[in-house]
Amino acid sequence: MTNSNPPAEVNVHKKSATLELVYHNGDSHLLSAEYLRVFSPSAEVQGHGPGQEVLQHGKKEVQFLDIQPQGHYAIKITFSDGHDSGIFSWEYLFQLGEDHPKNWPQYLAKLGAAGKSRSPQFIALGN
């Protein structure tokens, strides 16, 4: 299997807000909505070039609203915070799964260094 091939199965687990990708060789990746949201391939997150990434925070409670195929090469995910501009290629999703053990701790370290939190920040509105 090459990592650009689509998975054999794509399962959305709404209750746990995870996306399960099962590959033809039996391997699988379980990716949370939060992880996918903060690593979205969109320009809003990745910027328009190296060093222009925008640190995402407050995404702990994000959910999947919709997941749509994009031809035979990708899916488009609409998240509960309104973000819907990232097209997740099969290759990118595979890489996110493979790199999760290093990506997630690095993300948490960046959050800490920036004084940001995974928890959403709500502003109380007056009556």
Q: What is the rounded distance in angstroms from the CA atom of residue 36 to the CA atom of residue 51?
A: 20
Q: Is 123 a domain residue?
A: no
Q: Is 119 a domain residue?
A: no
Full residue range of the structural domain in which residue 68 is found: 9-114
First to last CA, the chain: 58
Q: Is 99 a domain residue?
A: yes
Write the CATH number for 100.
3.30.2020.30
pLDDT < 70 positions in the chain: 1-4, 122-127
Q: Is 32 a domain residue?
A: yes
Q: Is 125 a domain residue?
A: no
Q: Is 121 a domain residue?
A: no
Cβ-in-10-Å burial (0-12, 13-18, 19+) of 122 comes to exposed
Q: Is 23 a domain residue?
A: yes
pLDDT at 3: 46
- Buried/exposed 60-88: b ≥16 CB within 10 Å, e otherwise: eebebeeeeeeeeebbebbbebebeebbb
Q: Is 47 a domain residue?
A: yes
pLDDT at 99: 98
pLDDT at 121: 80
Q: What is the rounded distance in angstroms from the CA atom of residue 20 to the CA atom of residue 36?
A: 12
In the chain, how many domains are there? 1
pLDDT at 14: 94
Q: Is 89 helix (H, G, I), strand (E, B) or coil?
A: strand
pLDDT at 48: 87
Indicate yes or no: pTM above 0.85.
Answer: yes
